[in-house]
Amino acid sequence: MISIQFADGNIKSFAKGVSADAIALAISPSLRKRCLAAEVNGTLVDLSRPIEADAKVVLITDDSPVALDIIRHSSAHLMAQAIKIMYPKAQFGVGPNIEEGFYYDIDLGDTVLTDSDLPEIEKVMAKLVAQGETVSRQEVTKAEALKMFTNDVYKTEIINDLPEGEIITLYSQGDFTDLCRGPHVPSTKWLKHFKLLSLAGAYWRGDAKNKQLTRIYGTSFFSAEELANYLRIVEERKKRDHRKLGKELDLFMLSEYGPGFPFWLPNGMILRRELESFWYKVHLKEGYKLIQTPIMLNKELWEISGHWINYREHMYTSTIDDQEYAIKPMNCPGGMLVYKHDIHSYKDFPLKIGELGLVHRHEASGALNGLFRVRNFTQDDAHIFMTEAMIVKEISELVRLYDYMYSVFGLSYHIELSTRPLEKYIGEIATWDRAEKALADALNGMGKEYKINPGDGAFYGPKLDFKLRDSMNRIWQCGTIQLDMNLPERFDLTYIDQYGEKKRPVMLHRALFGSIERFIGILIEHYAGAFPTWLAPVQIKVIPVNNEIHKVYAEEIISVLSENEFRIEADYREEKLGYKIREAQTKKIPYQLVLGDKEVAEKTITYRRYGEQEQVTLPIADFVKMVKHEIVKK
């Protein structure tokens, strides 16, 4: 017999080799119906896996936090099974669950899928669900796995990369078998509520040198209602597409003469400058010293920094006076030169240097996407120099700053700690280990939850990534804090300690918005183009009911508003009042002021907020005070 301890602390005895499925049935048949997997000693396993020794067991039911991930991973296999039936020559790359669903990368040979093919794949998936096929797990050796997937170049490559002696697991349902670690649902009957969403191209293993596969995205839920609610959100997201709204609101444009190089239009420049002004004010208050470094610098600098070896394929270069130069893809090396310009003492620390620096990166043309993926963008960069003993305190200060800045925009976040890449990295592993531990210690000391993201650090140091969640429940990578003990070494940065000796500083790279351009794209969709008053390109639209009668008073009101530095537009066109009000709503202007006989007689204004029906009449002084307060409080 073995002892099984449950989440509530209770312990029961079961026969050795008992499965979580049998344990659930022994507790309650109704519980068994709701179970789709189990956690045994902290590891997720299939319900059918035998438990051979004493263990702590958590039964995973449909309301468990990880249950939806399992459903979606199994749905990826279901989709692959359907595709294999429809396209027998298909070969499969990887098919993970992701934040809101799943995808699978597939080599279909000469077959080209379109969106119109997705409903046909869904029909085959539905038939497989109706059959309620059992999902079974099998352990094989590396040699056995290679034999089974001998005709699949992608699975063969994955298997060959696995260490010798590692047990490999396969999952089967019907005639379909896939290479996978699992766990999976017990049966396809769990996968009733799914939807295939879109198609995309994806290079095998993310390398443009490899073949481009067809990536099919989908999602799945436990109920038809949850799926329907999600699909409604997807439709709302399409309406909020920043490329569509950017055009409608005259914010930015893109041109075939500069793919990936956005043009800012007058309204977009106002929005951008307001965001930058906010950034400058906050950073000056936080004690940052602001700099600007050149866009183009000599190749030798990029060799010292390590970018020439590790990032060369993403850099634009040119020859000046027979020497090779590169347009900066990052601000960091210029910041190193600024630091070396002076002699520094430990008394200067922490030394905070900030820069809104324009950088250029050569992105693949197929990856370009509005403001989200561009070839030139402004990083809101900062480099903080300190002693190693200051790391925990300074990271705490940065997280506090991030809390404030993101809260202004109504954005929540979670943190991921990204560790040393397996291949391209600079510096000693021991240095990386110390840096990673310092970041973890700082977060632990603050009581901040975080997730480990193995191998995703920058080539020069580990980092904390801030994943923002917007009003449409999407996750965006924006802020980052990178702890760097390598660049100070490569650039021979020093400071004088309290004993008069030269020491090496520790440096934090830090971006808050990440990219001004991308952050604006996120804000456009987050607010659906209806920006808060402090950010809105036009804050107030003044509309006289009748130009002949009310225009003089409108100009008096505009004069008052202008003196208070509001951004105003007046609509003196000979159009119907309703038309002008509707157009102001379409442009998502925060306030529309309608001025008629009553307002002229009483020396008041009547305003209507964007998205509201209520009209409010009050003295102009009260209106000015109200809007000013709103702008100051953001």
The residue from 381, 470, 484, 571 that is catalytic is: 381
What strand order describes the sheet that includes 540-544? 568-570, 540-544, 591-595, 604-609, 616-619
Least confident stretch, 354-358, 363-367, 504-508, 581-585: 363-367
Respond yes or no on whether the N-terminal peptide bond of residue 350 is cis (omega within 30° of 0).
Answer: yes
> What's residue 151's pLDDT?
86
CA–CA gap between residue 574 and residue 127 (Å, rounded) = 61
Average pLDDT in the chain: 92
Q: Provide, rounded to the nearest whole percent, the portion of the chain with pLDDT above 70.
A: 100
Which of 242, 272, 283, 463 is catalytic? The answer is 463
Give residue-wise pLDDT tens across range 105-144: 999 988 889 999 999 999 999 999 999 999 999 999 998 9
**Residue 166 shares a structural domain with residue 213:** yes
Whether 503 is in a domain gets the answer yes
Out of 383, 420, 518, 541, which one is annotated catalytic? 383
Assess whether pLDDT exceeds 90 at residue 207. Answer: no
**The pLDDT value given to residue 108:** 92
pLDDT digits (tens, 9 = 90+) for 528-545: 999 999 999 999 999 999
pLDDT at 473 over 90: no
Does the annotation count 73 as an active-site position? Answer: no
| Residue 532 included in any domain | no
Average pLDDT of the residues in 347-367: 92
Domain span at residue 107 reads: 67-239
Residue 381 known to be catalytic = yes
pLDDT for 382 beyond 80: yes
Please tell me the predicted confidence (pLDDT) of residue 460.
Answer: 74
Statement: the pTM of the whole predicted model exceeds 0.85? no
Q: Are strands 591-595 and 540-544 parallel, antiparallel or unpaired?
A: parallel
Question: What's at 187, amino acid-wise?
Answer: S
**Same structural domain, 511 and 598:** no
Please give the DSSP secondary-structure letter assigned to residue 9.
S
Q: Which residues of 581-616 are buried (b: 16+ CB within 10 A; e: fewer)?
A: bebbbebbbbbbbbbbeebbeeebbbbbebeeeeee
Q: Judge if 503 and 474 occupy the same domain.
A: yes
Same domain for 213 and 77, yes or no, is yes
Contacts 24+ apart (CB under 8 A), 124-130: 124/82, 124/85, 124/86, 125/78, 125/79, 125/81, 125/82, 125/191, 125/194, 128/78, 128/81, 128/82, 128/173, 128/174, 128/188, 129/78, 129/188, 129/189, 129/191, 129/192
Domain assignment of residue 424, yes or no: yes
Classified as helix, coil or strand, 571 is coil
Residue 495's pLDDT is what?
96
Q: What is the pLDDT of residue 435?
A: 83
Instruction: Identify whether 307 is part of a domain.
Output: no
Residue 526: active-site member: no
How many domains are there within the chain?
Answer: 4
Pair 20, 132 in one domain: no
76 and 171 in one domain? yes
| pLDDT for position 597 | 94
Looking at the fold, whether 372 and 482 belong to one and the same domain comes out as: yes
Average pLDDT over residues 143-164: 90
Are 601 and 550 contacting, i.e. CB atoms less than 8 angstroms apart?
Answer: no
For residue 485, pLDDT over 80 is answered with no
- Say whether 383 is catalytic: yes
pLDDT value at position 549? 92
Q: What is the average per-residue pLDDT within 168-189?
A: 93
pLDDT in tens, 278-301: 999 999 999 999 999 999 999 999
- CATH number, domain of 375, equals 3.30.930.10
What integer is the mean pLDDT of 329-333?
93
Predicted pLDDT of residue 309: 86
Tell me the C-alpha to C-alpha distance, in Å, between residue 210 and each of 96, 178, 213, 375.
Answer: 20, 22, 9, 22
Q: Within this chain, do residues 89 and 191 fall inside the same structural domain, yes or no?
A: yes
**312 within domain boundaries:** no
The sign of the CA dihedral 517, 294, 405, 475 is positive
Q: Residue type at 36?
A: L
Tell me, what CATH number does 77's domain have? 3.30.980.10
E strands within 65-127?
A: 91-92, 97-98, 101-107
Query: Residue 509: which residues within 8 A CB-CB, separation 6 or more?
Result: 332, 381, 382, 383, 458, 461, 463, 480, 481, 482, 484
CATH of the domain at 32: 3.10.20.30
Q: Average pLDDT of 311-340?
A: 93
**Cβ-contact 533, 407 below 8 angstroms:** no
Is 35 among the residues known to form the active site?
Answer: no
Q: What is the percent of the chain where pLDDT is above 90?
A: 74
Catalytic member of 379, 482, 539, 592: 379
Active-site position among 272, 332, 375, 420: 332
